[in-house]
Amino acid sequence: MDFKTLLEKFTSRTITVVAVAFCLFHLYTAATGPLTAFEQRVVHLTFGLMLVFLATPLKEGLEGAWRLIDWTFCLVALAAGAYLYLSAEDIAFRLGIPNVTDIAAGMAVVLLLLEATRRVLGWPLPIIALTAILYAYFGNLLPGLVAHGGFTTERIVSHLTLTTEGIFTVPMGVSATVVVIFIIFATFLNHTGVGQYFIDVVMSAFGKSKGGPAKAAVLGSGLMGTLTGSVIANVMSTGTFTIPLMKNAGYKPEVAGAVEACTSTGGQIMPPIMGAAAFIIAEFLQVPYLEVIKAALIPAILFYVALFLFVGFEASRSNIKGLTDEEVQEYRERKKGKLYLLSPLALLLVLMIFLNWSPMRAAFFAAMLTLLIGFLKKQDRLNLRSLIAMLEKAARAMLEVVTACACAGIVIGMLSLTGMGLQLSNVLTSLAGGNLLALLVLTMVVSLVLGMGLTTTACYVILAVLVAPALIQMGVHPMAAHLFVFYYGMYSFITPPVALGAYAASGLSGSPPLYTGFVAWKIALPGFILPFLFVYSPALLLTGDVLTIVRVSITAFFGVAFFSIGIAGYFKRRLNLLERVLMSIAGITLIHSGWMTDLIGMALGIGMMGMCFVTAKRQSLNQASSGGI
């Protein structure tokens, strides 16, 4: 056996050992309680960095001696992490007076993190983080509002790595305790077949209706998206069978890809997990996790209502039929006797909602129940080999979140050190001239731009620090402000020119990437008004009295429905341009919560729907009469 083969074999086995140890450490701390905040986060990041360098080569195709570079990075990460962990108490005791070894270990962590993030997530986030570091270092050379006194290398490195104000700040804390357990739980669920079960259930329910496969894709991918922390991962996992189903039913390739991209993106805003952002939002706002879930519920449902309506209208306009009885029966047969697969999810909700357990502890016991089911079921029964493979898969799935949270921590640390976060909020508020609508539009644009190319977690963290404070300063409800930036950060996945979710789906649908992105953006347009709705009507976040919540929810539903009809250009018949504009105006009018605007929007929308219904009926009668002559 030559050196190259021996090294690759040894590396492969080391990856498995590190990945399994990574998961077992977090399962153990979930069961017994985490270490101190700094120690828990250091161990979490160290495992993540080691695994990145071993599992993601410096460059694809480089083997043999080139892999020694990856091994060097891995061992340096282990040494630096071990030093920070073992010296944690000493570092805390002499806080503010780092020694040479502290700075060396910290600098190694920063440099290795930037490289690891580049390997896992590409260039965008490392470039943002590196820009933040350069800004902290050269701030004294900058003009006007953005200038500051500048900071030394020692001050920057110690702030980033020897405290919980930089790399090891809130997002890393959530990643190292809650998110990692939910990723393990989701991996276990996928292995037991929950994802396929979701698809089987919705195909059984909606498969025969017009556009049934697309409706099933919306609901099935949405349900699966609540368990994953990545739009791209959701597209690539569920899209492999939902996109062909839609194309076979008669949907154009670009529409099939766009629908999958939209519904996978929607999974990130749908409780209970919201791409792991729910836990970070709770930490930022210092509110119970269930408060975030409660607030996000109605807007997320409205987003899927808009998608569901669109695929239905598209099916009617293009005369797309549903599945045959035989095809639907196959899905019904496949889902029989598998209701037990949902028991871990039921246990999770019971423990969190009714027993008020922490999300980490609840997810741990739900994961253990999932494992038990895996070992007891007859088909695809778990064994030691498959368990190890599952743990390795879960560890690999963590790498996006680990690197995103840690690298975003660099940005947070530099903003807190320089005070630029508050300054940017003041700049946005000043540009808006005290006008809330102008500030919301500015924030929307900034969120879409900053969200390009970032993962769910990194996107929210950066926007929460940079942009959300400006909205709160203007009097927006804090929860609404954070959800506002989170929604538009997510919409960047389906907004050209960098619509990563749509581009991933286009690879499966065989449609042009940019055109698929445009179609996805068009489909999701009704969802674009949702953040404005809950900013102007916080009752949508289930705050306030019951009567107001009911009224606002009803008008929001009609607003989304009217806008969906305007975008789809169909209700009982094809709509001309003027009719589409009027329906869209009816939907937009319902954004502002007020009796007068609600009455105008409802009257215009319902009136247009009534006119469409009457003219469609008349056309149908004329066609029948002509056919009978």
Q: Dump the DSSP string for 285-344.
A: HT--HHHHHHHHHHHHHHHHHHHHHHHHHHHHHTT-----HHHHHHHHHHHTT-GGGGHH
Peptide bond into 57 cis (omega under 30): no
CA atoms within 13 A on the CB side of 181: 27
- What is the residue extent of each domain of the chain? 544-622
* Cα–Cα distances in angstroms (integers) from residue 586 to residues 222, 257, 549, 574, 590, in the given order: 27, 29, 20, 18, 7
Candidate from 20-29, 399-408, 432-441, 497-506 with smallest mean pLDDT: 497-506
What residue spans of 382-432 are helical by DSSP H? 384-418, 420-432
Between vectors from CA 316 to CA 315 and to CA 322, what angle results, nearest 5°?
55
What is the average pLDDT across 522-533?
A: 90
Instruction: Please give the Cα distance from 273 to 281 (Å, whole number).
Output: 11
Alpha carbons 463 and 410: distance in angstroms, whole number = 14
Nearest to 468 by CA among 421, 502, 400, 436: 421
CA distance 258 to 323: 21
Confidence of residue 225 (pLDDT cuts 50, 70, 90): low
| DSSP classification of residue 574 | B
Residue 628 has pLDDT above 60, yes or no: no
pLDDT, position 627 = 57
**How many percent of the chain have pLDDT more than 70?**
97
Q: Is 53 exposed, middle or buried, given 0-12, 13-18 or 19+ CB atoms closer than 10 A?
A: buried
- The rounded distance, in Å, linking the Cα atoms of 431 and 300 is 30
pLDDT at position 30 is 95
Q: What is the pLDDT of residue 63?
A: 65
Helix (H, G, I), strand (E, B) or coil at 181: helix
On the question of pLDDT at 382 being above 80, the answer is yes
**Chain centre distance of CA 448:** 14
Task: Give yes or no for a cis peptide into 531 (omega within 30° of 0).
Answer: no
Burial of 423 (0-12, 13-18, 19+ CB in 10 A): middle
| Residue 35 pLDDT | 94
| Both tokens assigned to 599 | 């009455």
Of 53 and 433, more confident: 53
Summary mean pLDDT of the chain:
88
With a cut of 70, say whether residue 342 has pLDDT above it.
Answer: yes
Burial group, residue 95, by CB count within 10 angstroms (0-12, 13-18, 19+):
exposed
Q: Identify which of 6, 130, 121 has the alpha carbon closest to the alpha carbon of residue 71.
A: 6
Alpha helices in 433-539 (DSSP H): 436-450, 456-466, 468-473, 478-491, 500-509, 513-528, 530-536
Check whether 563 has a pLDDT greater than 80: yes
Q: What CA–CA distance (Å, rounded) separates 371 from 426?
A: 50
Query: Do 520 and 502 touch, CB atoms closer than 8 A?
Result: yes
Per-residue pLDDT at 223: 74
Sign of CA dihedral 382, 383, 389, 390: positive
Structure tokens at 213: 């496969």
Give me Rg for the CA atoms of the chain: 26
pLDDT tens digits along 152-208: 999 999 999 999 999 999 889 988 998 899 889 988 988 888 877 877 888 888 878
Helix crossing, 478-491 with 513-528: angle to 10°? 160
Q: What SS3 class is residue 570?
A: strand
Contact 452, 430 (CB under 8 A): no
What pLDDT, on a 0 to 100 scale, did the predictor assign at position 221?
74
Angle subtended by helix axes 384-418 and 456-466, to nearest 10: 20
Q: What is the pLDDT of residue 227?
A: 66
Q: CB-side exposure of 466: number of CA atoms within 13 Å?
A: 24
pLDDT tens readout for residues 309-329: 988 888 888 888 777 888 888
Nearest to 448 by CA among 490, 476, 389, 390: 490
Please report how the helices 253-266 and 500-509 are oriented relative to each other, as an axis angle in degrees rounded to 10: 140
- Cα(427)–Cα(568) distance, integer angstroms: 38
**pLDDT on residue 262:** 92
Locus of tokens 């828990």: 40
Query: What is the phi/psi pair of residue 284, to 5°?
Result: -60, -45
Using CA atoms, how far apart are residues 133 and 560, in angstroms rounded to an integer?
A: 43
Two structure tokens written together for 474: 């203007």
Residue 335 pLDDT: 85
**Per-residue confidence band for 616, with pLDDT thresholds at 50, 70 and 90:** confident
pLDDT at 370 over 60: yes
Tokens standing for residue 362: 């609840």
Give the model confidence (pLDDT) of 232-263 as tens digits.
Answer: 777 877 787 788 888 888 889 999 999 999 98
Name the pLDDT band for 75 (thresholds 50, 70, 90): very high
3-state secondary structure of 547: helix
Q: Residue 11 belongs to what H/E stretch?
A: helix 3-32
